[in-house]
Amino acid sequence: MTPDAEALREDVRARYAAAATAVVDEARASCGSGSCCAEPTMDAVFGQSLYEDDQRGELPGAAVLASLGCGNPTAVAELHEGETVLDLGSGGGIDVLLSARRVGPAGVVYGLDMTDEMLALARHNQAEAGVANVHFLKGHIEAIPLPADSVEVVISNCVINLSPDKAAVLAEIARVLKPGGRVGVSDVVSEDRLTTAERAERGGWAGCIAGALSVSEYTAGLEGAGLVDVEVTFTHEVADGLHGAIVKARKPETARRVLPLAGGVSAGCC
């Protein structure tokens, strides 16, 4: 990781550590209206307002207050009883806890986060909610601490845009998904017309804007990682040319095989 990338990661970590501390202290001063991705006037495009009232009512108040995302991935991931789910950048645990109720006692949900303060808040919320089928892990989404082919579903809520190495994130998603597994994430995504510089003009990296991928970049990245049936659907505008979006993809049931040819050359097959 380059020094610039490390600095970006530390900026993100510090911002979300402050968010967790603010929720615990019931002050929320570091996040204005409750979303570190947003300015105080942006409640309608980030945070708890993107969840239905009945979903918010299922959870401890601190989990709802700590919702910092740009969507509601549990509403689009089509979770089923008994599935294993991974939430990348799980924060205060809102999507993990909602997913745990969807998959039931026979299912398992992992929440991965790099921020100690968020992990502590998430585990507190888990205990308050009385949910047993959840495991919160510390780590980076560029190096997921789970085995290959271990989860049916990967979700995430406005976190992939924060990574300084998105190619690594998408490759890791493909690695941990079981054959036939699927991706259902919410993220900030740019229209293809915006350059990298134009995205940065509209907001900072830790504010979920400057690091957003375009539709074409997201599609190419997921397909390059070996996923198929990629869909990027805008849901609401968060800045000029940037949108909250639902991103879906699937890991093929049968992995692509490489067959050796004469002279040591390989060719893709099937």
Residue 3's pLDDT is what?
Answer: 47
Tokens for 139? 């780590």
Q: How confident is the model at residue 23 (pLDDT cuts 50, 70, 90)?
A: low
Contact status, residue 121 vs residue 23, Cβ threshold 8 Å:
yes
Q: Which tens digit of pLDDT belongs to each residue from 147-160?
A: 999 999 999 998 99
- Cα separation, 123 vs 145, in Å, equals 18
* Residue closest to 170 by CA, chosen among 181, 183, 157: 183
Confidence class for position 73, pLDDT limits 50, 70, 90: confident
Say which residues have a Cβ less than 8 Å from residue 211's Cβ, sequence separation at least 6: 8, 161, 162, 163, 164, 166, 199, 205
Quick check: 190 and 199 in contact, CB under 8 A?
A: yes
Look at residue 187 and tell me whether its pLDDT is greater than 70: yes
Residue 136 is encoded by which pair of tokens?
């919160």
Least confident of 31-45, 105-119, 153-167, 204-218: 31-45
Mean pLDDT of the chain: 80
pTM for the whole structure = 0.78
What is the per-residue pLDDT across 221-243, written as a single tens digit (0 to 9) for each?
999 999 999 999 999 999 999 99
pLDDT at residue 43, rounded to an integer: 46
Burial letters 81-120, b for 16+ CB under 10 A, else e: eebbbbbbbbbbbbbbbbbbbbbeeebbbbbbbbbebbbe
Average pLDDT over residues 53-64: 47
Q: Could you tell me what percent of the chain has a pLDDT over 90?
A: 59
User: Domain residues of the chain, as ranges?
Assistant: 3-254
Question: What is the structure's pLDDT at 32?
Answer: 36
**Highest-scoring range by mean pLDDT, 38-52, 62-76, 127-141:** 127-141
Determine the Cα–Cα distance for residues 213 and 196; give it in Å rounded to an integer: 9
Model confidence at 8, in pLDDT bands (50, 70, 90)? Answer: confident
* Across 205-209, 222-226, 260-264, least confident range: 260-264
Question: Residue 21 in contact with residue 30, Cβ under 8 Å?
Answer: yes
Which fold would CATH assign to domain 3-254? Rossmann fold (3.40.50)
Beta strands in the chain (DSSP E): 84-88, 108-113, 134-138, 151-157, 177-190, 213-214, 228-239, 242-250, 257-260, 266-269
